Amino acid sequence: MAEYLFTPGPVTTSPEVLLAGARPMMSHRGPRFSALLRRLQNRLRDLLDVDGPVLLLPGSGTGALELLSMNLVTPEDRVLSLSCGVFGERFREIVARRGATMAAVDVEPGRAVTVEGLRRALAEHPETTVLLLTHNETSTAVTNDIGALVASLPEEGRPLVLVDAVSSLGAMACHPQRWAVDGLASASQKGLVTPPGLALAWLSPRAWERASAVASPSYFFDAGLHRRFLEKEEPENPYTPPVSLLFSLDEALARMVEEGFVRRFASRRRFASALVAGASALGLVPFVADERARSAGVTALVVPGNRAVELQRALRGLAVEVAGGQKDMKGLLVRVAHYGDEGWPELALVLGALYGAMREVGLACGSAFVERAFEAWEERV
């Protein structure tokens, strides 16, 4: 039976993108590969609306966060981390390993960081040199308004702002340069709709200055090393890159360019809104109360009676794979992701499956026309 994937990475990837990864290998030292890297650089710069190199290396989102940490944080730093959930905590843990002094503020699950909250945290920790933020917190399906948060920072003694954009890039506008972010980390397997295995990072001019002063203790994650190789006349990677994944990413970006980035972001938002409307009618309300803070890539739905684990299992029985809640929210949430090309058929599919699964686990739910269909289906067995 086919499996319909609605998890927040890996995501359903088009056959064109998958087949691009099956192209014959090419040497990663040569003009053809350099041309591929140049094209990827141009497209990623357009997507991010940035100047400067976009680093691409084997790894995942965690690797990209590690790269920021290795190149931009030292034991002398005073780091302030504002976390909205599991991945905010992950970033914090990664950076703490550099031996920096850490200050942690946890936002209530389901809520975004507010300008007032950030001001308060900074007032309590005025010595902050590095600020950690998450653009889209996948565990709660909350999107932070990074532009507004960074714009609220004082000019004088402004900390270096590092942002986890692992689950935002490609699905929503993400403009680190315009927003005055200093370091951005992302990955291939969510909004870029490519298989997992690529880490991606961008640094501001201020961050590059810092990186050259810090000198990464890691060779693999040395940002300066990656940049030197990318800036050669014939761009290349310092070590063997995942060539097939770069083929796939190239294809995925070509499709996004064809669709138009702004249209794509709008289509993800539209799916999210329609899903929330349909799921709410079934009795599954969105976890994020503030509509403006709801993610365009993943939607967290509250399952009545803490029955999320059962509901997820029942969905799996219907060949629909969604994510459950993480940590304390395990029984509370199911998370339905829509980073790919999901449209009307997938909306009908996932709502129908949610209905069927709710019915199976005995959760009261409404929706007359779907109910009729299920009753007829059951009569036939």
Binding site residues, ligand PMP, CB under 6 A: 8-9, 60-62, 87, 90, 134, 136, 138, 164, 166-167, 187
Q: Which residue is nearest to ligand PMP (CB)?
A: 61
Binding residues for substrate: 335
Measured in whole angstroms, the distance separating CA 318 from the mean position of its chain's CA atoms is 26
CB 363 within 8 A of CB 334: no
Tokens representing residue 277 in the block: 């409307």
Closest CA to 194 of 170, 174, 168: 170
Cα gap 134→240, rounded to integer Å? 30
Residue 34 or 326 with smaller CB distance to ligand PMP: 326
Cα gap 28→317, rounded to integer Å? 43
Closest CA to 283 of 295, 263, 301: 301
Sheet containing 320-324: order of strands: 4-6, 320-324, 333-337, 298-302, 285-286
Residue 20 or 323 with smaller CB distance to ligand PMP: 323
Cα gap 186→167, rounded to integer Å? 7
SS3 370: helix
Tokens representing residue 190 in the block: 């969510």
Residue 275 or 323 with smaller CB distance to ligand PMP: 323
Residue 295 or 367 with smaller CB distance to ligand PMP: 295
User: What's the min distance (Å) between Cβ of 63 and ligand PMP?
Assistant: 7
Backbone angles phi, psi at 238, to 5 degrees: -70, -25
User: What's the min distance (Å) between Cβ of 363 and ligand PMP?
Assistant: 27
User: What's the min distance (Å) between Cβ of 90 and ligand PMP?
Assistant: 6
The string of DSSP codes covering 290-322 is SGGGB-SSEEEEEPGGG-HHHHHHHHHHTTEEE
Residue 166 or 296 with smaller CB distance to ligand PMP: 166
User: What's the min distance (Å) between Cβ of 166 and ligand PMP?
Assistant: 4
User: What's the min distance (Å) between Cβ of 162 and ligand PMP?
Assistant: 12
User: What's the min distance (Å) between Cβ of 306 and ligand PMP?
Assistant: 23
Residue 86 or 311 with smaller CB distance to ligand PMP: 86
